[in-house]
Structure 1
Protein backbone atom coordinates (compact mmCIF):
# COMPACT_ATOMS: atom_id res chain seq x y z
CA UNK A 1 0.00 0.00 0.00
CA UNK A 2 0.88 3.66 -0.11
CA UNK A 3 0.79 4.06 3.67
CA UNK A 4 -2.22 6.38 3.46
CA UNK A 5 -5.60 5.57 4.94
CA UNK A 6 -8.67 7.37 3.58
CA UNK A 7 -11.03 9.43 5.71
CA UNK A 8 -14.67 10.01 4.89
CA UNK A 9 -17.96 8.18 4.59
CA UNK A 10 -17.85 4.59 3.37
CA UNK A 11 -19.97 1.44 3.56
CA UNK A 12 -19.26 -2.27 3.53
CA UNK A 13 -21.58 -5.05 2.38
CA UNK A 14 -21.68 -8.87 2.29
CA UNK A 15 -19.55 -9.03 -0.83
CA UNK A 16 -16.78 -7.07 0.89
CA UNK A 17 -16.37 -9.41 3.88
CA UNK A 18 -13.33 -11.70 3.93
CA UNK A 19 -13.44 -14.40 6.61
CA UNK A 20 -10.34 -16.04 5.08
CA UNK A 21 -8.02 -13.05 5.14
CA UNK A 22 -4.32 -13.61 5.72
CA UNK A 23 -4.81 -10.87 8.34
CA UNK A 24 -7.17 -13.06 10.38
CA UNK A 25 -10.54 -11.46 9.42
CA UNK A 26 -11.14 -8.47 7.17
CA UNK A 27 -13.71 -6.35 5.41
CA UNK A 28 -13.29 -3.81 2.66
CA UNK A 29 -14.57 -0.31 3.53
CA UNK A 30 -15.85 0.29 -0.01
CA UNK A 31 -13.06 2.57 -1.21
CA UNK A 32 -13.25 4.40 -3.52
CA UNK A 33 -16.67 5.85 -2.74
CA UNK A 34 -18.60 8.39 -4.86
CA UNK A 35 -16.60 11.30 -3.42
CA UNK A 36 -13.29 9.61 -4.17
CA UNK A 37 -14.31 8.74 -7.72
CA UNK A 38 -15.63 12.28 -8.36
CA UNK A 39 -12.26 13.65 -7.25
CA UNK A 40 -10.17 11.21 -9.27
CA UNK A 41 -8.88 9.13 -6.36
CA UNK A 42 -8.12 5.55 -7.26
CA UNK A 43 -7.24 2.41 -5.41
CA UNK A 44 -8.97 -0.49 -3.79
CA UNK A 45 -8.67 -3.10 -1.09
CA UNK A 46 -8.73 -0.66 1.82
CA UNK A 47 -9.55 -3.06 4.60
CA UNK A 48 -10.30 -3.16 8.29
CA UNK A 49 -8.41 -6.24 9.47
CA UNK A 50 -6.60 -8.04 12.25
CA UNK A 51 -2.95 -9.04 12.64
CA UNK A 52 -2.11 -5.48 13.79
CA UNK A 53 0.07 -4.60 10.75
CA UNK A 54 -0.75 -2.37 7.79
CA UNK A 55 0.51 -0.12 5.01
CA UNK A 56 -2.66 1.91 4.55
CA UNK A 57 -5.48 -0.23 5.89
CA UNK A 58 -7.04 -0.04 9.34
CA UNK A 59 -5.29 -2.73 11.35
CA UNK A 60 -6.12 -3.86 14.85
CA UNK A 61 -5.70 -6.81 17.13
CA UNK A 62 -7.28 -10.10 16.17
CA UNK A 63 -9.62 -9.79 19.17
CA UNK A 64 -10.68 -6.33 18.00
CA UNK A 65 -11.50 -7.42 14.46
CA UNK A 66 -13.32 -10.51 15.74
CA UNK A 67 -15.73 -8.30 17.68
CA UNK A 68 -16.25 -5.79 14.87
CA UNK A 69 -16.46 -8.43 12.14
CA UNK A 70 -19.09 -10.37 14.09
CA UNK A 71 -21.26 -7.25 14.49
CA UNK A 72 -20.92 -6.32 10.81
CA UNK A 73 -21.68 -9.88 9.65
CA UNK A 74 -24.71 -10.14 11.97
CA UNK A 75 -26.13 -6.86 10.66
CA UNK A 76 -25.68 -7.94 7.05
CA UNK A 77 -27.01 -11.46 7.67
CA UNK A 78 -30.08 -9.94 9.33
CA UNK A 79 -31.02 -8.06 6.17
CA UNK A 80 -29.14 -4.79 6.48
CA UNK A 81 -27.86 -3.96 2.97
CA UNK A 82 -24.68 -2.27 4.13
CA UNK A 83 -22.89 -1.11 7.24
CA UNK A 84 -21.65 2.48 7.23
CA UNK A 85 -17.96 3.01 7.97
CA UNK A 86 -17.33 6.65 8.86
CA UNK A 87 -13.66 7.50 9.26
CA UNK A 88 -12.52 10.71 10.93
CA UNK A 89 -8.94 11.84 11.59
CA UNK A 90 -9.55 12.66 15.26
CA UNK A 91 -12.32 13.60 17.69
CA UNK A 92 -13.73 16.52 15.73
CA UNK A 93 -14.61 18.84 18.60
CA UNK A 94 -14.06 22.59 18.28
CA UNK A 95 -10.72 22.58 20.11
CA UNK A 96 -9.24 19.84 17.94
CA UNK A 97 -10.50 21.58 14.81
CA UNK A 98 -8.80 24.82 15.92
CA UNK A 99 -5.55 22.93 16.44
CA UNK A 100 -5.86 21.34 12.99
CA UNK A 101 -6.12 24.63 11.07
CA UNK A 102 -2.47 24.54 9.97
CA UNK A 103 -2.74 21.08 8.42
CA UNK A 104 -3.09 20.90 4.63
CA UNK A 105 -6.11 18.59 5.05
CA UNK A 106 -8.03 21.12 7.14
CA UNK A 107 -10.51 22.15 4.42
CA UNK A 108 -11.32 18.49 3.75
CA UNK A 109 -11.80 17.88 7.47
CA UNK A 110 -14.15 20.88 7.64
CA UNK A 111 -16.28 19.10 5.04
CA UNK A 112 -16.42 15.95 7.24
CA UNK A 113 -17.28 17.82 10.44
CA UNK A 114 -21.03 18.33 9.76
CA UNK A 115 -21.43 14.55 9.46
CA UNK A 116 -19.52 14.05 12.69
CA UNK A 117 -21.52 16.75 14.49
CA UNK A 118 -24.86 15.41 13.23
CA UNK A 119 -24.15 11.97 14.68
CA UNK A 120 -22.83 13.36 17.97
CA UNK A 121 -25.98 15.47 18.41
CA UNK A 122 -28.64 13.05 17.13
CA UNK A 123 -27.11 9.61 17.64
CA UNK A 124 -28.31 8.82 14.12
CA UNK A 125 -26.43 8.69 10.87
CA UNK A 126 -26.97 11.60 8.51
CA UNK A 127 -27.80 11.16 4.86
CA UNK A 128 -24.59 11.57 2.90
CA UNK A 129 -24.46 12.32 -0.81
CA UNK A 130 -21.88 13.82 -3.14
CA UNK A 131 -22.63 16.99 -5.08
CA UNK A 132 -20.14 19.06 -7.05
CA UNK A 133 -17.30 16.80 -5.87
CA UNK A 134 -18.08 17.52 -2.21
CA UNK A 135 -19.82 15.59 0.55
CA UNK A 136 -23.31 16.89 1.27
CA UNK A 137 -24.64 16.12 4.75
CA UNK A 138 -28.42 16.14 5.26
CA UNK A 139 -30.68 15.14 8.14
CA UNK A 140 -32.00 11.61 8.02
CA UNK A 141 -35.76 11.41 7.67
CA UNK A 142 -37.57 8.77 9.64
CA UNK A 143 -39.74 6.34 7.66
Structure 2
Protein backbone atom coordinates (compact mmCIF):
# COMPACT_ATOMS: atom_id res chain seq x y z
CA UNK A 1 0.00 0.00 0.00
CA UNK A 2 1.44 3.36 -0.96
CA UNK A 3 1.71 6.23 1.49
CA UNK A 4 -0.92 8.94 1.20
CA UNK A 5 0.47 12.27 -0.01
CA UNK A 6 1.04 14.79 2.75
CA UNK A 7 -1.05 17.94 2.80
CA UNK A 8 0.05 20.84 4.96
CA UNK A 9 -1.71 24.10 5.71
CA UNK A 10 -0.80 27.18 7.72
CA UNK A 11 -3.69 28.17 9.98
CA UNK A 12 -1.95 31.52 10.65
CA UNK A 13 -1.93 32.39 6.93
CA UNK A 14 -4.17 35.08 5.47
CA UNK A 15 -5.17 32.55 2.79
CA UNK A 16 -8.35 30.75 3.91
CA UNK A 17 -7.78 27.15 5.01
CA UNK A 18 -10.19 25.75 2.41
CA UNK A 19 -8.22 27.50 -0.35
CA UNK A 20 -4.91 26.20 1.02
CA UNK A 21 -6.35 22.68 1.05
CA UNK A 22 -7.73 23.01 -2.49
CA UNK A 23 -4.41 24.41 -3.73
CA UNK A 24 -2.41 21.61 -2.07
CA UNK A 25 -4.68 18.90 -3.45
CA UNK A 26 -4.71 20.49 -6.92
CA UNK A 27 -0.89 20.47 -6.91
CA UNK A 28 -0.90 16.79 -5.92
CA UNK A 29 -3.45 16.00 -8.64
CA UNK A 30 -1.40 17.77 -11.31
CA UNK A 31 1.72 15.91 -10.19
CA UNK A 32 -0.06 12.54 -10.42
CA UNK A 33 0.12 11.81 -6.69
CA UNK A 34 -3.56 10.80 -6.78
CA UNK A 35 -4.23 8.49 -9.76
CA UNK A 36 -7.39 8.90 -11.84
CA UNK A 37 -10.25 6.93 -10.31
CA UNK A 38 -8.76 6.83 -6.83
CA UNK A 39 -10.70 8.19 -3.88
CA UNK A 40 -9.35 11.06 -1.82
CA UNK A 41 -9.41 10.79 1.97
CA UNK A 42 -12.89 11.29 3.41
CA UNK A 43 -13.83 14.82 4.39
CA UNK A 44 -13.85 13.92 8.08
CA UNK A 45 -10.58 11.99 7.87
CA UNK A 46 -8.72 14.86 6.20
CA UNK A 47 -10.31 17.40 8.57
CA UNK A 48 -9.02 15.45 11.58
CA UNK A 49 -5.56 15.09 10.00
CA UNK A 50 -5.36 18.84 9.32
CA UNK A 51 -7.04 19.99 12.53
CA UNK A 52 -9.82 21.89 10.75
CA UNK A 53 -13.61 21.69 10.70
CA UNK A 54 -15.04 19.16 8.25
CA UNK A 55 -16.91 21.96 6.44
CA UNK A 56 -13.53 23.50 5.56
CA UNK A 57 -12.44 20.33 3.76
CA UNK A 58 -15.89 19.94 2.18
CA UNK A 59 -15.56 23.46 0.72
CA UNK A 60 -12.12 22.62 -0.72
CA UNK A 61 -13.51 19.45 -2.30
CA UNK A 62 -16.47 21.45 -3.71
CA UNK A 63 -14.08 23.94 -5.33
CA UNK A 64 -12.08 21.11 -6.90
CA UNK A 65 -15.28 19.44 -8.08
CA UNK A 66 -16.43 22.66 -9.77
CA UNK A 67 -13.04 22.83 -11.50
CA UNK A 68 -13.55 19.30 -12.83
CA UNK A 69 -10.90 17.59 -10.70
CA UNK A 70 -13.22 15.53 -8.50
CA UNK A 71 -16.47 13.63 -8.74
CA UNK A 72 -18.32 14.05 -5.45
CA UNK A 73 -20.76 11.28 -4.66
CA UNK A 74 -22.69 10.67 -1.50
CA UNK A 75 -21.39 7.61 0.32
CA UNK A 76 -18.57 7.19 -2.24
CA UNK A 77 -16.53 10.27 -1.37
CA UNK A 78 -14.38 12.29 -3.73
CA UNK A 79 -13.07 10.41 -6.76
CA UNK A 80 -10.24 11.78 -8.93
CA UNK A 81 -11.35 12.58 -12.49
CA UNK A 82 -9.30 12.59 -15.69
CA UNK A 83 -8.26 16.18 -16.40
CA UNK A 84 -5.94 15.43 -19.31
CA UNK A 85 -8.06 17.90 -21.26
CA UNK A 86 -8.92 20.69 -18.82
CA UNK A 87 -12.20 22.47 -19.28
CA UNK A 88 -11.69 26.09 -20.29
CA UNK A 89 -13.00 28.59 -17.79
CA UNK A 90 -13.59 32.31 -18.13
CA UNK A 91 -12.76 32.77 -14.47
CA UNK A 92 -9.50 30.83 -14.62
CA UNK A 93 -7.15 33.64 -15.66
CA UNK A 94 -8.49 36.37 -13.32
CA UNK A 95 -8.50 33.86 -10.48
CA UNK A 96 -4.94 32.82 -11.29
CA UNK A 97 -3.76 36.43 -11.44
CA UNK A 98 -5.35 37.16 -8.06
CA UNK A 99 -3.77 34.09 -6.46
CA UNK A 100 -0.38 34.98 -7.97
CA UNK A 101 -0.69 38.50 -6.54
CA UNK A 102 -1.45 37.06 -3.09
CA UNK A 103 1.43 34.60 -3.35
CA UNK A 104 3.83 37.27 -4.59
CA UNK A 105 2.88 39.63 -1.75
CA UNK A 106 3.38 36.81 0.75
CA UNK A 107 6.78 35.93 -0.76
CA UNK A 108 7.90 39.57 -0.78
CA UNK A 109 6.84 40.00 2.84
CA UNK A 110 9.07 36.99 3.59
CA UNK A 111 12.00 38.87 2.05
CA UNK A 112 12.19 37.27 -1.40
CA UNK A 113 13.19 39.52 -4.29
CA UNK A 114 10.79 39.87 -7.26
CA UNK A 115 13.30 38.19 -9.60
CA UNK A 116 13.60 35.16 -7.32
CA UNK A 117 9.81 34.92 -7.11
CA UNK A 118 9.43 35.11 -10.91
CA UNK A 119 12.18 32.52 -11.47
CA UNK A 120 10.56 30.20 -8.94
CA UNK A 121 7.15 30.54 -10.61
CA UNK A 122 8.66 29.76 -14.01
CA UNK A 123 10.47 26.72 -12.61
CA UNK A 124 7.30 25.37 -11.00
CA UNK A 125 5.30 25.93 -14.21
CA UNK A 126 7.97 24.07 -16.18
CA UNK A 127 7.94 21.18 -13.70
CA UNK A 128 4.15 20.97 -13.80
CA UNK A 129 4.10 21.01 -17.59
CA UNK A 130 6.70 18.25 -17.71
CA UNK A 131 4.86 16.27 -15.02
CA UNK A 132 7.91 16.40 -12.79
CA UNK A 133 6.71 18.37 -9.80
CA UNK A 134 9.36 18.06 -7.13
CA UNK A 135 8.22 17.27 -3.62
CA UNK A 136 8.95 20.07 -1.18
Q: Same fold (TM over 0.5)?
A: no
TM-score normalised per structure 2: 0.31
| Structure holding more strand per residue | 1
TM-score normalised per structure 1: 0.30
| Structure holding more helix per residue | 2
